[in-house]
Structures are given as C-alpha cells and as structure tokens.
C-alpha cells in the first residue's frame, strides 16, 4: 500500500501562492501608505503632495503559504504637460498588464474623472481587479459610505470589494489572504527575508526627496530630484556609511528656497534625512548635500534619463 505526500521532494522549493499585485489609482489615494503598512516598513516614500511616487517600486510580503510582490505605481493622472508627467503615466499603464492581479485603490466618498480613467485602463488590461476603498475611517458623513460603495461596485466586474484604511493595520489583516486567491502557485520568487528590490542608492535618494517634499509642500512642487553622487563606507570611521547627494532644482530661485536663510533649511533637511537613512541602513550615516540647478529638467527627456527616469 502506498500513500501520497503533499510535501515537495527534498531540495525542491514548496509551492506558494506567489505573484505580482499592482497598486493602481489616481494620485494621492494612499497607494504608497498602503504598501508601507502591509510590509510593516517604508519602501515607498509618502507626502501629502500628489505624484510623489514617480516610478515603479516593488515591495515583497512573505506570509505562510504566500509571497505577494506589491507593485507601487505612479498615480495615473490627466495633466500631461511635462515629460515627467508622460513618463509617470506610461510607467503606470504599461505595468497594469504585467502583473497577476490589479488592486484599484480609490478614496471613500470620492470619484473623479481620473478615477474613471484608471478604471478604463484596468479594464483594458483584462486582469482580475480588486477594488480597495481606502480612507473609510475618514468618510463623513458615515451614512453616505454604504451607498457610495454600492454605486462604485456597479462600475465594473470587480472580483472583490474591500473597504480599508491604510493607516489602521487592523483593517488590512485579511487583505493578503484575499489577494493571494488570485495569484498562481509557484516557488518563492524572492528570498524570505527580501522586502524590496530597490537599490540602496535609489532608496537613499528617495528618502532625502521625501524630506524635501514634506518640508517644501507649497514652495517646490515637482521640479526637484535627488541624485546620489557617492555612497560607500567611511575611510575615517569604520561602520559609518558616507552618502553624497545633489539636490537638483529647475530654477535659481528654487535653489535659494531649498538652502534657506543662512543655510538653515538645507541643514534641517540634512538632519531629518540622516536620521531616516540611519534607520533604513541600520548604521550611522554621514550625509553631504549640495543644491544645483538644471533648467527645466522635468521636461527634458535627456536630463530625465540622466536622473534614472528611463523614457
């Protein structure tokens, strides 16, 4: 008499629910906040300004029986006046067909033309769509929430509709299990301890850019990019990481804003960035910052390629 075993042969990787899930939506609906909350650490920067996320960022969630690679995408938006806007839309839209399931994130009690545009692109991609209604904890008046959910649910054939709050972890506990149902069975794609495939230089630049966007929300909307010119161990202090970064702006007047009176603002940005870099890399960081001007870089595809935005 023989018995079958559910265990894989020795040396073979067990099969999991494993695949890619894209976070799609218009700008500022909370996609990056949601990704960070699901992973329990920051892999995508967050600010109140729309279009903070500029490129595709992968974050890996490992739970028993599943590995979900979340793909945080730039917000799909209508205004495409600059090369940067067109780049972000192309990046987001091209990724919608390159995953296993799409997570459509909307904001409770709001539906805009940009939301509709995202939904149109998702339907064209032809993959399962989970509707995630975010910020339900802020929905006022509360009695409008259920009619809103019912109305939005009718807009497409969603495989699941899940009300969530990206800032309340308890509302997200069941979400990975729901998403995993729509992923194929396969061996693990990344090592179990892996959280993101973003290079260290990219993460360092993004963490610095986040501090700038948080501090300069009104004065400096989008014409800013951070380039890491040097990164490596300190020659003078063992165990310390040296990061040399240039903050590029589009006009001389923006340079003065970033530096601040007597250099005070740049010094504070450096202090806040250094603390975040210390946490991210798990070691002390010596950060050197400069501010330089590259006229109109966000509408110049050659300049964008130099800064890592492949157009």
pLDDT digits (tens, 9 = 90+) for 268-279: 999 999 999 999
Residue range 165-183: average pLDDT? 96
Domain boundaries along the sequence of the chain? 16-186, 200-306
Query: Among residues 122, 81, 77, which one has the least CA distance to residue 104?
Result: 122
Higher pLDDT residue, 77 or 19? 19
Residue range 226-245: average pLDDT? 95
What is the band of 48 on the pLDDT scale with cuts at 50, 70, 90? confident
Query: Among residues 71, 78, 70, which one has the least CA distance to residue 51?
Result: 78
> What pLDDT, on the 0 to 100 scale, is given for residue 82?
86
> What pLDDT, on the 0 to 100 scale, is given for residue 309?
87
> What pLDDT, on the 0 to 100 scale, is given for residue 203?
96
What is the band of 92 on the pLDDT scale with cuts at 50, 70, 90? very high
Query: Among residues 254, 276, 275, which one has the least CA distance to residue 265?
Result: 254
> Which CATH fold would you assign to the domain 16-186?
Rossmann fold (3.40.50)
What is the band of 242 on the pLDDT scale with cuts at 50, 70, 90? very high
Distance CA 191, CA 204 (A): 22
- Is the CATH number of domain 200-306 3.30.300.20? yes
What is the band of 81 on the pLDDT scale with cuts at 50, 70, 90? confident
How confident is the prediction for the chain on average, in pLDDT? 91
CB of 209 closer than 8 Å to CB of 47: no
**What single-letter DSSP state applies at residue 1?**
-
pLDDT over 80 (residue 8): no
What is the band of 21 on the pLDDT scale with cuts at 50, 70, 90? very high
> What pLDDT, on the 0 to 100 scale, is given for residue 2?
38
> What pLDDT, on the 0 to 100 scale, is given for residue 1?
38
SS3 262: helix
Backbone angles phi, psi at 133, to 5 degrees: -95, 105
> What pLDDT, on the 0 to 100 scale, is given for residue 220?
66
Q: Provide the token pair at 33.
A: 């906040």
pLDDT over 90 (residue 167): yes
SS3 298: helix
């Amino acid at each position: 008499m023989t018995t079958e075993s559910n265990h894989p042969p020795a040396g073979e990787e067990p099969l999991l629910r494993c695949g890619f899930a894209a976070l799609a939506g218009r700008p500022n609906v909370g996609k990056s906040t949601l990704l960070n909350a699901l992973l329990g650490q920051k892999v995508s920067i967050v600010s109140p300004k729309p279009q903070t996320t500029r490129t595709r960022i992968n974050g890996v969630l490992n739970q028993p029986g599943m590995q979900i690679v979340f793909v945080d995408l730039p917000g799909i938006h209508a205004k495409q006046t600059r090369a940067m806007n067109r780049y972000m839309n192309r990046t987001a839209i091209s990724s919608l067909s390159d995953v296993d399931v799409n997570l459509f994130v909307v904001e409770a009690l709001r539906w805009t033309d940009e939301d509709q545009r995202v939904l149109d692109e998702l339907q064209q991609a032809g993959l399962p769509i989970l509707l995630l209604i975010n910020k339900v904890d802020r929905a006022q008046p509360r009695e409008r929430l259920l009619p809103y959910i019912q109305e939005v649910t009718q807009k497409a054939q969603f495989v699941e509709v899940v009300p969530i709050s990206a800032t309340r972890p308890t509302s997200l506990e069941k979400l990975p299990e729901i998403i995993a149902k729509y992923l194929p069975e396969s061996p693990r794609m990344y090592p179990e301890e892996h959280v993101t495939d973003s290079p260290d230089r990219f993460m360092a630049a993004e963490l610095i850019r986040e501090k700038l966007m948080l501090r300069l929300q009104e004065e400096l909307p989008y014409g800013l990019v951070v380039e890491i010119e040097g990164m490596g161990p300190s020659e003078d202090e063992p165990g310390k990481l040296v990061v040399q970064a240039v903050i590029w702006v589009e006009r001389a007047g923006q340079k003065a804003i970033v530096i601040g009176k007597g250099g005070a603002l740049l010094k504070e940005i450096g202090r806040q960035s250094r603390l975040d870099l210390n946490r991210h890399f798990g070691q002390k960081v010596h950060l050197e910052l400069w501010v330089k001007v590259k006229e109109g870089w966000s509408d110049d595809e050659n300049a964008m390629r130099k800064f890592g935005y492949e157009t």
